[in-house]
Amino acid sequence: MAFPLHRPRRFRRTETLRRMVRETRLSPDNLIQPLFVCPGRGIKRPVPSMPGVAQMSVDKIVAEAREIQTSGVPALILFGIPERKDAIGSQAWNDDGEVQRAIREIKERVPNLAVITDVCLCEYTDHGHCGAVADGDVDNDATLELLVREALSHARAGADIVAPSDMMDGRVGAIRRALDENGFANIAIMAYSAKFASAFYGPFRDAAQSAPQFGDRRSYQMDPPNGDEAIREVALDLEEGADIVMIKPALPYLDLIWRVKQKFNVPVAAYNVSGEYSMIRAAGINGWIDEDRAVIEVLTSIRRAGADLILTYFATDIARKLQLGQ
C-alpha cells in the first residue's frame, strides 16, 4: 500500500510549502477590470444590484484607471452609456461619445494601461437589442456594418483591443477587414466567441442600461446546453481573425474554457459576469462567506480551467490583495 510511504499532506503543512508546489498561479496580470462610462462630469453613480460598482463620467473613469494601474491590473474594458439612444445605436460610433472620450483621456493620462472596448449596440439602441431590428429580430447582416463603424471609432480614439460581444455571425471577419483596410492592422480583436443566453447577466443590464425592451436574446446568444456548438463558434472566430477568444459566463462553463484551451491553445479569456459577482458580494456583505477567499477561489478555478485572462469586477481589489500575498 502507498501509505505510509506516500503522504500528500507533507506539502500542505505550511503556507510556504503550499506556495512551493502550487500548480495554478493567479496574478494581477490575468485580470481585466470592466468599467461603465456615462455622460456628465463628477458622476459616480452606484449600481444597486452590483455593490461596489458604479457608472462613472469620463473624469472619474480616468481616476479609476490610475487606481487600476496602481493595483497591477494591466487592462480595463469600457462599456458606454450614451446620452441618447435610437433604433440603430448611432451613438456607438460617435467619435465624441463617452467611450471614445474616455479612451483618449486614459491613453493620454494613464498611457501604460491597455484599453479594451466592448463592441456591441445593446447599450445604444432604444430597444435594447444588439443590432438593427427587422421583423421583430436582429438583422444579422445589416448589423455588421454598424459594428464595423463602432470598432473603427474605438480604434481612431486609441483603443488597444476591440471586443465584439454581439454574437452576430461574421462580425469578427468584418471588423478585421475594416481595421486592416483603415490602417489599424495592429489593433487586436478579443471576440466574445461563445456567449451564452445566461440568467447571470441581470445586474449588468442594470449597470449598462441595456435590458431588451421586447423578447430576449436567445436568437443570437448561445443555448446553454450546447458545448460542441461553442467549439465551432470559437473555430469560426479564429478563422476570421480573432486574437483572443472568450467564454461568457465563466463559472457555468468551466468545462468549455478547458475544452477551448486544450483544442486551440490560443489566448483564452473568460468573463466572471455580473450575476456571479453579485452573488459573492451579497453573501460577503451578509457575512455568509469569507468574500476575499471565495473570490480568489473562484478566479483560481477559472485559471485552472484554462483561462489566460479573466474579466472580473473584483479585479482591482483582488489584485491589491494578491500583491500583498494574501
Question: Is 107 considered catalytic here?
Answer: no
Cα–Cα distance, 271 to 286 (Å, whole number): 25
Identify the pLDDT of residue 326. 55
What CATH number is attached to the domain comprising 284? Answer: 3.20.20.70
- CB-based contacts of 121, cutoff 8 Å, min separation 6: 88, 89, 92, 129, 130, 131, 132, 143, 146, 147, 150, 166
Question: At residue 278, what is the residue type?
Answer: S
Catalytic residue, candidates 248, 261, 263, 321:
248
Task: Classify residue 286: in a domain, yes or no.
Answer: yes
Look at the chain and report how many structural domains it folds into: 1
Q: Answer whether residue 312 is part of any domain.
A: yes
What is residue 1's predicted lDDT score, i.e. its pLDDT?
A: 66
Is 21 contained in some domain? no
Q: Dihedrals φ, ψ of 67, to 5°? A: -65, -40
- Direct distance between the N- and C-terminal alpha carbons of the chain, in angstroms, rounded to an integer: 38
Residues spanned by the domain of 195:
26-323
Q: Does 19 reside within a domain? A: no
Please list the pLDDT of the chain residue by residue as tens digits (326 residues): 689 999 999 999 999 999 999 999 999 999 999 999 999 999 999 999 999 999 999 999 999 999 999 999 999 999 999 999 999 999 999 999 999 999 999 999 999 999 999 999 999 998 888 899 998 899 999 999 999 999 999 999 999 999 999 999 999 999 999 999 999 999 999 999 999 999 999 898 888 777 788 778 888 999 999 999 999 999 999 999 999 999 999 999 999 999 999 999 999 999 999 999 999 999 999 999 999 999 999 999 999 999 999 999 999 999 999 987 75
From the candidates 60, 107, 195, 261, which is the catalytic residue? 195
What's the predicted TM-score (pTM) here?
Answer: 0.96
* Domain-embedded: residue 114: yes
Q: Kindly state whether residue 11 falls inside one of the protein's structural domains.
A: no
Is residue 8 a part of any domain in this protein? Answer: no
Residue 296 lies in a domain: yes
C-alpha span between 234 and 250 (Å, rounded) = 15
State residue 293's pLDDT score. Answer: 96
CA dist 49 and 203 (Å) reads 5
Say if residue 245 is exposed, middle or buried (CB neighbours under 10 Å; 0-12, 13-18, 19+): buried
Query: What is the C-alpha to C-alpha distance for residues 237 and 8, in angstroms, rounded to an integer?
Result: 43
- The helix/strand/coil state of 21 is coil
